[in-house]
Chain A
Amino acid sequence: MSFINTQKNIRLKLLSLYYKANAGHIACSLSCIDLLIALFEIKKINERVILSKGHAAGALYTILNHTTEINDETLDTFYKNGTKLSAHPSANSFTNIPFALGSLGHGFPIGCGIAYANKLQKNDDLVFILMSDGETNEGTTWEAAHFATSKKLDNLIVLIDKNNLQGFGYTKDVLGDSADFYKWESLGFDVVEEDGHSVEKLILNIKNFSTKKNGKPKLIIANTIKGKGVSFMENKLEWHYLPMNTEIYHKAIQSIEENYYA
């Protein structure tokens, strides 16, 4: 099954969302949107995706619009006064936005708690945590990673959106590669590293992981491109922050049309 139309349409919706809001965080949403497509394609109704990189809220809202949990009217309130859709996810409005997230390093511990609870309740639900590679700088990442391995949370699947850029530089230049395959493997995670823009491969790997009850938490290091799909935004730090004017918005649409054709 090809997801190219979904990948394209959701990207167009995402651009429209950020354009109307005149807001930034476009490139970091584009880098993880294929991960979200795969996760919401595969997750069961009671399973939760914890978007720990809360600054990609626009991507989450667009996916939840795609799954019909957020209707168009509500989506249009993004960034406006009185909205339920703040720039980072807020709590207590939607089932699939279970926590307010956006201060980095919070989602992984919370996900560990949910995974531990699933074990206590003896259900087979998985927990998915989507983090950014910059986020792995946070100390809680390492607290939670050791918790997850020591408590044998094999129902936990962590995805790192590894786009190699963080707030003010390349991750390799800031604190080094804290999303390195061997670091995580030596901690006791089952790790795969793969193309984070191939929805098909992601689904396959998540399915493989979901049946692997071996006492080890799972990690997908998803190699992604910041701004993926809009050629002139790709691998550009400034598109973490910049909003689009009308001219740039139209160019961005055109770039998506060119890059995603079935």
Chain B
Amino acid sequence: MRNEFSKKIEEILENQVNTVFITGDLGFNAFEKIQEISGDRFINAGVAEQNMVGVAAGLAYKGFETFTYSIAPFAVYRCFEQIKIDVCIHNLPVYIVGNGGGYGYGIMGATHHAIEDIGCLSMLPNMTCWIPAFTEDIEYCLNQITSLKKPAYLRLGLGKLYPKKITISSINQIIKSKINKITIIALGPIVHNVLEAISEFNDVDLFTILTVPLVDFNEDLINSITKTKKIIVIEEHVERGGLGEHILAKITKNSLKIDHFISLHAKGYPSKLYGNQLFHQTESGLNPENIKKEISLLKEI
């Protein structure tokens, strides 16, 4: 998604003179054009993420909408207190961009993974996490973020194009089946594993959710849950603070009756072995084969 992100950012920086882009010394082969277009509104803050976020808060206080960019774990955890106090408590338009959310950086190892980012950030006041699942979601998310002008986190991963054109919103129904038996809700690009897993099924509804905390369930999602009463939430994020818990809370709040709820989520490093993104997804049961198995089992209940 990084290239689509770069293109959209180029457009924003070209048209919005009150926007600043700060990178934590990353962006080789991706941000050169942004740098060229933006002049002094492009800042390389060096390998110093805490200062980067504090600087962003100062710029935002003076009227500049400010993006900060790094690899997801560095963009979030290293500077968590700056995000909480300098940005969120003051409700400033600082947009934290983390590349490679989840196990996105694969073999780079645990230091480069971000599987607790959404849980951490979604607790903070005024903060919305935006998690694009398909390539086209990037533009939607950035349009929303820049129009809301409040703290935001954008988690980038490896996206693909939508299988068919849809009108994008915070909750999207990707597949609507006539004989729906199971409702699947996916967070982020893991949806592509789900699409592979359900290619032979004709009785599964598939949704993506792009924001945490959640907006209210839309009619399509409520109808699907009410009909199937069987839900699987799939996310490349730990269970605690993840989409699954947010969904359960919303189900309770809406007094929806369900029979089965399964959470497929990141489990850390269960075998203490390391590999590419798919290796870690597989370790956590987030690979297409396991997702298919879980769906088949749930159908039989």
Name, among B50, B53, B58, the residue most crowded by chain A CB atoms within 10 Å (CB to CB). B58
A86 to chain B, nearest CB (A): 12
Distance A45 CA – B221 CA, assembled complex (angstroms): 53
- Do B82 and A113 touch (CB < 8 A)? no
B55 to chain A, nearest CB (A): 4
Distance A162 CA – B46 CA, assembled complex (angstroms): 28
Query: Does any Cβ of A come within 8 Å of B85's Cβ?
Result: yes
Q: Across the two chains, which residue of chain A brings its CB closest to B55?
A: A113
Task: List chain B residues, Cβ under 8 A from A110.
Answer: 54-55, 57-58, 61, 86
Contact among A103, A116, A143, A150 for B58, CB-based, below 8 A? A116
Contact among A92, A98, A100, A112 for B51, CB-based, below 8 A? A112
Interface residues of A toward B: which range?
20 to 34
Query: Does any Cβ of A come within 8 Å of B259's Cβ?
Result: no
- Interchain Cβ contacts under 8 Å between A and B, 17 examples: A99-B57, A106-B86, A109-B55, A109-B57, A110-B86, A112-B51, A112-B54, A112-B55, A113-B55, A114-B58, A117-B58, A117-B62, A120-B59, A139-B50, A140-B50, A143-B48, A144-B51
The residues in A between 75 and 123 inclusive whose CB is less than 8 angstroms from any CB of B are: 91-92, 98-100, 103, 105-106, 108-121
Q: Across the two chains, which residue of chain A brings its CB closest to B94?
A: A113
Task: List chain B residues, Cβ under 8 A from A147.
Answer: 45-46, 48, 51, 55
Contacts A113-B54, A114-B62, A117-B64 known; list 13 others, CB within 8 Å.
A91-B89, A103-B85, A106-B81, A109-B52, A112-B51, A112-B54, A112-B58, A113-B57, A113-B66, A116-B43, A120-B59, A147-B48, A147-B55
Q: Interface code B37-51, partner A: CB below 8 Å = 1, 0 otherwise?
A: 000110101101011
Contact among B62, B85, B89 for A113, CB-based, below 8 A? B62
Q: How many A-B residue pairs have CB under 8 A?
A: 96
Contact among A100, A103, A106, A120 for B41, CB-based, below 8 A? A120
Distance A253 CA – B298 CA, assembled complex (angstroms): 77
- Do B50 and A109 touch (CB < 8 A)? yes
Task: List chain B residues, Cβ under 8 A from A113.
Answer: 54-62, 66
Given known contacts A109-B82, A147-B45, A98 and B61 CB-to-CB distance under 8 angstroms? yes
Distance A146 CA – B50 CA, assembled complex (angstroms): 13
Task: List chain B residues, Cβ under 8 A from A118.
Answer: 62
Q: Interface code A114-136, partner B: CB below 8 Å = 1, 0 otherwise?
A: 11111111000000000000000
Distance A92 CA – B91 CA, assembled complex (angstroms): 10
B289 to chain A, nearest CB (A): 45
What is A's interface to B at a CB cutoff of 8 Å?
91-92, 98-100, 103, 105-106, 108-121, 139-140, 143-144, 146-147, 150-151
- Do B86 and A99 touch (CB < 8 A)? yes
Distance A140 CA – B80 CA, assembled complex (angstroms): 13
Distance A163 CA – B59 CA, assembled complex (angstroms): 31
Q: Interface code B11-50, partner A: CB below 8 Å = 1, 0 otherwise?
A: 0000000001000000000000000000011010110101
Given known contacts A92-B90, A144-B51, A117 and B40 CB-to-CB distance under 8 angstroms? no
Q: Interface code B131-173, partner A: CB below 8 Å = 1, 0 otherwise?
A: 0000000000000000000000000000000000000000000
Given known contacts A91-B90, A109-B55, A144-B54, A103 and B61 CB-to-CB distance under 8 angstroms? no
Given known contacts A99-B57, A110-B57, A146 and B46 CB-to-CB distance under 8 angstroms? yes
Distance A183 CA – B86 CA, assembled complex (angstroms): 27
Task: List chain A residues, Cβ under 8 A from B48.
Answer: 143, 146-147
Distance A117 CA – B54 CA, assembled complex (angstroms): 13
Distance A140 CA – B58 CA, assembled complex (angstroms): 14
Distance A109 CA – B54 CA, assembled complex (angstroms): 5
A176 to chain B, nearest CB (A): 22
Query: Does any Cβ of A come within 8 Å of B63's Cβ?
Result: yes
Closest 8 CB pairs of A and B: A113-B58, A109-B54, A117-B62, A143-B51, A143-B48, A113-B55, A114-B58, A110-B58
Given known contacts A92-B90, A106-B85, A120 and B64 CB-to-CB distance under 8 angstroms? yes
- Do A111 and B90 touch (CB < 8 A)? no
Distance A55 CA – B54 CA, assembled complex (angstroms): 19
